[in-house]
Structure 1
Amino acid sequence: MEDVPSNANEHCPGTQSEQAGKASSCAAIAEIGEKLSTVKHKILVLSGKGGVGKSTFSAHLAHALASDVTKEVALLDIDICGPSVPRIMGLEGEQVHQSGSGWSPVYVEDNLAVMSIGFLLGSPDDAVIWRGPKKNGMIKQFLRDVDWGELDYLIVDTPPGTSDEHLSIVQYLSATNEVSLQDVRKEIRFCQKVKLPIIGVVENMSGFVCPKCKNTSQIFPPTSGGAEKLCADLSLPLLGKVPLDPRIARSCDEGRSFLNDIPESPAAQAYQKIVQHIQDYCSNREAEQSTT
């Protein structure tokens, strides 16, 4: 990815903005752009509603990308009020440490780092009740003060909807050419409005695959064409469909990688195909930028 571009000032607040006169907004974007200049690809995982398996997908995407030991991967959880990534990644109880170069993320593997507000809480049961400005400040601190080092992929797991956290992460990454992965129509409109490139759509919980008989049942049959029609209507690629498998939830509760535990399952194979599409997209994008 590129360093802060010459048009970075476009992302500073104008005279009509609520941030007008607050130079720190521009300074923060520049600082973050410099901090993340060593991160090749930033991928946002977005969802228009909760309960669709977004954090689970983010975690498995990070695990799959990190299965290539030549790649450095990090997972950032910016769901400030409902952080579930520490549990899914098997890191509950871990704490963040301060070093001379900033906060040190928590490592699952030598090449897979994780950061979440969950590491800053006294207990997983602690409630975080913050208004927008405080959430915004926390996201800024994650991006600016964490010692990410050189990364091939930074996966950002976002909360549901199009709230303060989404606007903040897009604003702060605006100087770093971020990309996004998402799954609902409202979120697509949001990405288009803020000029966020879209990798494609994932249909999660697409049918139920019985772990014993391997038969597939449509528990949630699409009533309006599903992801395929959505992608056709909006001219977006469908990256794949991940079937329901109760073993995924069990793996997440135990903080284990489902892809490593049951790689032969239909869901794991669907994940691998989706990850391959994402890797191809990032490789093509990297090649395009190297020629400009």
Structure 2
Amino acid sequence: MSRPFVKMNGLGNDFVVVEARSSPFEPTPEEVRTIAGRGEGGIGCDQLIALTATSEGDAFMRIWNADGGEVSACGNAARCVGWLLMQASGGDQATIATRAGRLRAWAAGPRAVTVDMGAPGLGWRDIPLEEDMDTRGIELQVGPVDAPHLHTPGCVSMGNPHVVFFVADAAKAPVREVGPMIEHHFLFPEGVNVGFAEVQAPDRIRYRVWERGVGETKACGTGACAAMVAAHRRGLADRKATVVLDGGELRIDWREDEGGAPGHVLMSGPVAVEFTGMLPPPGGRGV
């Protein structure tokens, strides 16, 4: 039986969203790569998303990166899924269960959604790192030992691991050169999303990102959250900032800490529907 999908994007970070609440959907890594492929035979996306049944929210969001690996979190996908669920219910809020925890989404405009991404993970085990380090600035550098091009990045987990290098000019950041090298660095046993942040003002950050299992993308919602959190922890930014990505802008609000615990991070931005279609049945492209 064929299965319907919706192709959506959040600031150009694009997804194939599959409805799977009434029947199982278990694509193999090869099938995920085929669907995500941007050449002949593929639909094309950064992540494949499946909505499955759960008692913990309106839907459980499963996420596969374009390389076929399943991951725990994706901020832009959460905004897109939140919008779909609200459209279906006619309400103005939705709860999304994920491997990283439950997320609450609510309408922020006709085609805009805010998601409470929860509290950031700031300990070295939260990222996780291979060894104990201060995540405000870990011992990592790129380039000559006596004159590194990049050094002392911050690390944040937003349900997935991020490392954030601070640069003078994000437009000139070596995203494609350094990204794949750091993604698989031994310090990050689960791999890592690699970001390059230019703090233009206390409330404005220009950000580019190499996503784990995907490559350079136009936007990364969890990455935007991580960039703001990492910048604030270094005294470079306020707790509210606009993060400017290649695909557009996200508004990030890191709430005040409560009881010694990090406050939740709210992410707001637009969503877009590109088209709908049907995945072929098993034996077509194998899903």
Higher relative strand content: 2
TM-score normalised by the chain length of structure 1:
0.28
Larger relative CO (CA 8 A, sep 6+): 1 or 2?
1
